[in-house]
A and B are shown apart, each in its own frame.
Chain A
Amino acid sequence: MSEQKTKTAETQKVFLLGNEALVRGALEAGVDYASAYPGTPSSEIIERLSHEAKKRGIHVEWSSNEKVACEGAGAAAVAGLGSLAAMKNAGLAVALDFLTHCSLTGLGDQGGSMVVVVCDDPDAHSSGDETDSRWQARFAYAPMLEPTNVAEAREMIRYCFDLSREYDCYVFLRSYTRLSHGSSIVELGPLPEAKKGQAHPDCSAAVNPYLGKVHHVMALERLAKIKEVFETSKFNEYFGPEDAELLVIASGNGVSCGREALEMLGLEDQVGLLKLATLWPFPTELVRARAKQAKQILVLEEVDPVVEVLVKDALNGTEAASVPVLGKESGHVPMAGEITPDRALDALGKLTGKTHQGPGEAYQAKLKQITDEMLISRGLTWCPGCPHRASFWALDKAVKAEGGEVYVTGDIGCYTLDVFPEGKCQMNMLHAMGSSIGLASGLGQMHKFGWDKPVVSICGDSTFYHAVLPGLVSAIYNQANLVHVVLDNSATAMTGFQAHAGVGYNAMGEAAPKIDVVKLCEALGVPVTVADPFDIRGATKALRGVMAEGQGVRILVLRRACELVRMKADKNKPYKVVVNQDKCKGEECGTCYSKFRCPALLKDPVTGKASIREDACPGCGACASVCPFKAIEIQEVAK
């Protein structure tokens, strides 16, 4: 994924991932400070920047959460530097507490700039929700732009830095999965000389927000000025005939989907398409001018009807007020999910009566019949050798031993896979980063209201630093009754192994202080037990032990490195694990392959007994303590 020069290298064209294009643009703009908490689809931004950090004298960090990341970036901007904070949609909710204030005070008069990149995940490909961050720009009184494609992403982020500097406010750039994780050819601009930024923190202009009303007025005035600029922005473009009666207004991914649908229907010469890239403040005049000759307007965007609502607003009270604005609210485009060429085709079909000739009926019938019969899904599960599988097995055992009456709150990380059919489905509630402990904290008070089931909350190590700590402090202080389990696998594994406060190195790979979860919890003055999930019996016993203690907050740390981390450090398998075919009961039992479900374990189709795929098994040995007949044997591997 490095910047591969193409044959046209003279013109500096390279093939880049959307997130890499954003990085390139930020580098071209001279970014000095970058911070984030990882989250798909945003993680590659800081990751790639970290590769450039030392070479170019940039500070790059994985902050413990998005609010902290934005605060750091904000301070750097106040010191006169160019800063970038990146996050996924869910992270913006965390950061807004600060960002809503920061747009009131501005960035001070040291000439700093700050861009906040938010990567939404329409269709929730790898997220718990598909919330649309575009609403938040209005809410936070901050400008927002949305690129249409990978090449534009590079150019637009550069512009965002300029805009930020000129108008003394941070600027939102909204990305989305199909941009962040799409790749295309990008024409590069020049990189500035690597420099050590000259920082001059001067906070006198970037004061506290406790002049809220005054600052609010200033922020609104600033937005009014930026609106003027956006009215004629080159990022908003019009395609098609000047007298088009049907006008498509599209933003983000909606632009390419809309253009393609028009092309497929042969409508490019009849229908106009207005590409809107400056979303807030909304360029009302531009929209009004384009709407004048239109008899109908169709809006293509993802996810919520944000542009649609703003277009309606803009036309309200003008001569175009009666032009129907169609899209999500009118049912022409579905309210949920990403925009696709098919959705654009559908919507345009409804308005023009034109249809695209897809596969014939006979083909479709055959396709349906065959796929109905044969297509099975590929369930999601933990990797072979993953400690989480063992941890949840132990939890399952402990819960059963309690008669099943245990309430479990989960959190965000690889362990979330528990909720899928191939998991143990132990988690009863699962929400935001850190919600495990917050929810448990509430449930842990329910004994006062006549409900006294045991409560277990579960988080991972990265989540622990991100948002569990304050909740944990609160639970301890308020004497909630709960067991909090930290699945400490020394990794932010789900997003690609970014560094965090517990791993001992930073975003740039340099040694960093290692904050130990166990010591930290001990310092909070509550009982802390540590167990190894691969010793499933021991882990189950430990869980039952802490659950039996009954009162207050009790902490169990199940500690074992993520298998992918271990493999990187040590290519050798810890054990050679084999199934003793004489002892295995096969079908009569099936515990290991049909209940424990490590993907390296299978029922041998010939013998009907358990068998281990040597190529897939990293030799963790966990299944040995799962087999009720001691048929799975582990042998130490000579090093």
Chain B
Amino acid sequence: MSLATDPYNLIVCGVGGQGNILIARLIGRILAENGYHLAIGETFGAAQRGGSVFSSLRISKKHAYGPLIPKGGANLIVSLEPLETLRLLSNFGNENVVTLSNTQTAMPVGVLAGRAEYPDVDKLRRAIQELSAKALFTPATDIAVELGAPIVSNIVLLGALLGAKLLPISEEEVKQDMASTFPPSKLELNYQALQRGIETVA
């Protein structure tokens, strides 16, 4: 499998604390091993917890691009939170963009405080569909909760990404990377999360 365009622009987004950086780097490492030039851009700092966070991955066979994606230039948006999918679409969306979103919402603090309203979930879903050439949704958090560890939502979503065959990386490669970067005691749980994620799309 090769990439649809070159450079291929992937965004992994979510809310601070959801582990989007971990999966962005994992994907990045594997693609780099597969001979792609790669740059990842992140910003961290004050928005660490509860704020909007995203990593941009520039993937190319030609040469290394800078970390910033041009406006309207995303090819794939992988999102741990549906409102964040919309947020990233607002800057990087286009007619051909593919999105993969976790269905679980994370409420901004203004919403918790009753001063702002989170959009109606069905409407939000329709909006994402309308703005994507292809919009996939996965109940990654629900599955992670079933597994007894909400923290692995990101790995379930990564599994869904594998299942949907949107990137030239394989389950084997992901597992290999995990084996060399995750603590051994956590491997089984993460393999399970990955498997469940793959099944949601398969």
Q: Say whether A181 faces chain B, with CB atoms less than 8 Å apart.
A: yes
Q: Say whether A109 faces chain B, with CB atoms less than 8 Å apart.
A: no
- The digit string for A164-182, where 1 denotes a CB below 8 A from any CB of B, is 0000000000000110011
A181-B42, A341-B70, A360-B95 known; A378 and B50 CB under 8 Å?
A: yes
Q: Say whether A183 faces chain B, with CB atoms less than 8 Å apart.
A: yes
Q: Say whether B40 faces chain A, with CB atoms less than 8 Å apart.
A: yes
Pairwise interchain contact B86-A15, C-beta atoms closer than 8 A: no
Pairwise interchain contact B43-A260, C-beta atoms closer than 8 A: no
Pairwise interchain contact B119-A374, C-beta atoms closer than 8 A: yes
Q: Say whether A139 faces chain B, with CB atoms less than 8 Å apart.
A: no
Pairwise interchain contact B115-A7, C-beta atoms closer than 8 A: no
Which residue of chain B lies nearest to A257 when distances are taken between CB atoms in the complex? B66
Pairwise interchain contact B40-A4, C-beta atoms closer than 8 A: no
- The digit string for A1-15, where 1 denotes a CB below 8 A from any CB of B, is 110101110000101
Pairwise interchain contact B108-A358, C-beta atoms closer than 8 A: no
Q: Which listed residue, B42, B107, B113, touches A594 by the CB 8 Å rule?
A: B113
Q: Which listed residue, B43, B117, B131, touches A177 by the CB 8 Å rule?
A: B43
Q: Say whether A363 faces chain B, with CB atoms less than 8 Å apart.
A: yes
Q: Say whether B49 faces chain A, with CB atoms less than 8 Å apart.
A: yes
Give the residues in chain B near A35, CB-CB below 8 Å.
Answer: none
Q: Say whether A150 faces chain B, with CB atoms less than 8 Å apart.
A: yes
Q: Say whether A510 faces chain B, with CB atoms less than 8 Å apart.
A: no
Give the residues in chain B near A374, CB-CB below 8 Å.
Answer: 83, 86, 119, 123-124, 127
- The digit string for A245-260, where 1 denotes a CB below 8 A from any CB of B, is 0000000010111011
CA distance A533 to B75 in the complex (A): 48
CA distance A599 to B112 in the complex (A): 7
Q: Say whether A264 faces chain B, with CB atoms less than 8 Å apart.
A: yes
Pairwise interchain contact B25-A183, C-beta atoms closer than 8 A: yes
Select the stretch in A211-219, A379-387, A544-552 that faces chain B: A379-387
Pairwise interchain contact B109-A375, C-beta atoms closer than 8 A: no
Pairwise interchain contact A185-B38, C-beta atoms closer than 8 A: yes
- Give the Cβ gap from B20 to chain A, nearest Cβ, in Å: 14
Pairwise interchain contact A359-B109, C-beta atoms closer than 8 A: no
Give the residues in chain A near B93, CB-CB below 8 Å.
Answer: 359, 363, 367
Pairwise interchain contact B51-A126, C-beta atoms closer than 8 A: no
CA distance A363 to B47 in the complex (A): 30
CA distance A184 to B86 in the complex (A): 27
- The digit string for B142-155, where 1 denotes a CB below 8 A from any CB of A, is 00000000100000
Which residue of chain B lies nearest to A126 when distances are taken between CB atoms in the complex? B45
Q: Say whether A154 faces chain B, with CB atoms less than 8 Å apart.
A: no
Give the residues in chain B near A383, CB-CB below 8 Å.
Answer: 49-50
A40-B45, A366-B131 known; A602 and B50 CB under 8 Å?
A: no
Give the residues in chain B near A40, CB-CB below 8 Å.
Answer: 44-45
- The digit string for B95-123, where 1 denotes a CB below 8 A from any CB of A, is 10000000000011111111111110001
A184-B40, A260-B65, A371-B86 known; A15 and B25 CB under 8 Å?
A: yes
- CB within 8 Å of A: which B150-171 residues: 150
CA distance A421 to B40 in the complex (A): 31
Q: Which listed residue, B38, B90, B107, B181, touches A184 by the CB 8 Å rule?
A: B38
Which residue of chain B lies nearest to A40 when distances are taken between CB atoms in the complex? B45
Which residue of chain B lies nearest to A151 when distances are taken between CB atoms in the complex? B64
Which residue of chain B lies nearest to A127 when distances are taken between CB atoms in the complex? B45
Q: Say whether A149 faces chain B, with CB atoms less than 8 Å apart.
A: yes
- CB within 8 Å of B: which A400-441 residues: 417, 421-422
Q: Say whether B134 faces chain A, with CB atoms less than 8 Å apart.
A: no
Find the residue from B28, B46, B90, B109 having the highest chain A CB count within 10 A: B109
Pairwise interchain contact B41-A599, C-beta atoms closer than 8 A: no
Give the residues in chain B near A603, CB-CB below 8 Å.
Answer: 112-114
Q: Say whether B67 faces chain A, with CB atoms less than 8 Å apart.
A: yes
Give the residues in chain A near B115, CB-CB below 8 Å.
Answer: 594
Q: Say whether B130 faces chain A, with CB atoms less than 8 Å apart.
A: yes
Q: How many A-B residue pairs have CB under 8 A?
A: 184
Q: Which listed residue, A7, A15, A367, A376, touches B119 by the CB 8 Å rule?
A: A376
Q: Say whether B68 faces chain A, with CB atoms less than 8 Å apart.
A: yes
CA distance A363 to B94 in the complex (A): 7
CA distance A376 to B124 in the complex (A): 12
CA distance A356 to B94 in the complex (A): 14
In this complex, the interface size class of chain B, counting residues with CB under 8 Å from chain A, is: 35 or more
- CB within 8 Å of B: which A554-578 residues: none
Q: Say whether A593 faces chain B, with CB atoms less than 8 Å apart.
A: yes
- CB within 8 Å of B: which A234-269 residues: 253, 255-257, 259-260, 264
- CB within 8 Å of A: which B1-35 residues: 15, 25, 28-29, 32-34
CA distance A416 to B146 in the complex (A): 38
Q: Say whether A597 faces chain B, with CB atoms less than 8 Å apart.
A: yes
CA distance A253 to B67 in the complex (A): 9
Q: Say whether B189 faces chain A, with CB atoms less than 8 Å apart.
A: no
A178-B67, A185-B37, A370-B127 known; A125 and B45 CB under 8 Å?
A: yes
Which residue of chain A lies nearest to B106 when distances are taken between CB atoms in the complex? A378
Pairwise interchain contact B51-A345, C-beta atoms closer than 8 A: no
Q: Which listed residue, B41, B66, B86, touches A370 by the CB 8 Å rule?
A: B86
Pairwise interchain contact B95-A378, C-beta atoms closer than 8 A: no
Pairwise interchain contact B46-A380, C-beta atoms closer than 8 A: yes
CA distance A595 to B47 in the complex (A): 21
Q: Say whether A342 faces chain B, with CB atoms less than 8 Å apart.
A: yes
Pairwise interchain contact B39-A149, C-beta atoms closer than 8 A: yes
- CB within 8 Å of A: which B45-62 residues: 45-47, 49-52
Q: Which listed residue, B28, B44, B70, touches A264 by the CB 8 Å rule?
A: B70
CA distance A603 to B116 in the complex (A): 12
- Give the Cβ gap from B176 to chain A, nearest Cβ, in Å: 10
Q: Say whether A318 faces chain B, with CB atoms less than 8 Å apart.
A: no
Pairwise interchain contact B50-A594, C-beta atoms closer than 8 A: no
Q: Say whether A293 faces chain B, with CB atoms less than 8 Å apart.
A: no
A4-B29, A6-B32 known; A178 and B68 CB under 8 Å?
A: yes
Pairwise interchain contact A379-B108, C-beta atoms closer than 8 A: yes
Give the residues in chain A near B87, CB-CB below 8 Å.
Answer: 375
Give the residues in chain B near A255, CB-CB below 8 Å.
Answer: 66
Pairwise interchain contact A597-B112, C-beta atoms closer than 8 A: yes
Q: Say whether A377 faces chain B, with CB atoms less than 8 Å apart.
A: yes
Give the residues in chain A near B111, CB-CB below 8 Å.
Answer: 376
- Give the Cβ gap from B172 to chain A, nearest Cβ, in Å: 13
Pairwise interchain contact B130-A366, C-beta atoms closer than 8 A: yes
- Give the Cβ gap from B107 to chain A, nearest Cβ, in Å: 7
A185-B64, A375-B87 known; A125 and B70 CB under 8 Å?
A: no
A125-B45, A599-B50 known; A375 and B39 CB under 8 Å?
A: no
**CB-defined A-B contacts under 8 Å, sample of 17:** A1-B25, A15-B38, A40-B44, A126-B46, A184-B64, A253-B66, A253-B68, A257-B66, A360-B95, A363-B131, A367-B131, A376-B119, A378-B15, A380-B51, A422-B109, A590-B114, A601-B112
Given A177-B43, A370-B131, A378-B50, 18 other A-B residues pairs in contact with their CB atoms under 8 A: A4-B180, A40-B44, A40-B45, A127-B45, A178-B66, A181-B43, A256-B66, A342-B71, A356-B70, A359-B95, A370-B86, A374-B124, A375-B90, A376-B110, A378-B51, A381-B109, A593-B112, A601-B112
Per CB-CB distance, the 5 closest pairs between chain A and chain B, nearest first, are: A126-B45, A256-B66, A359-B94, A374-B119, A182-B67
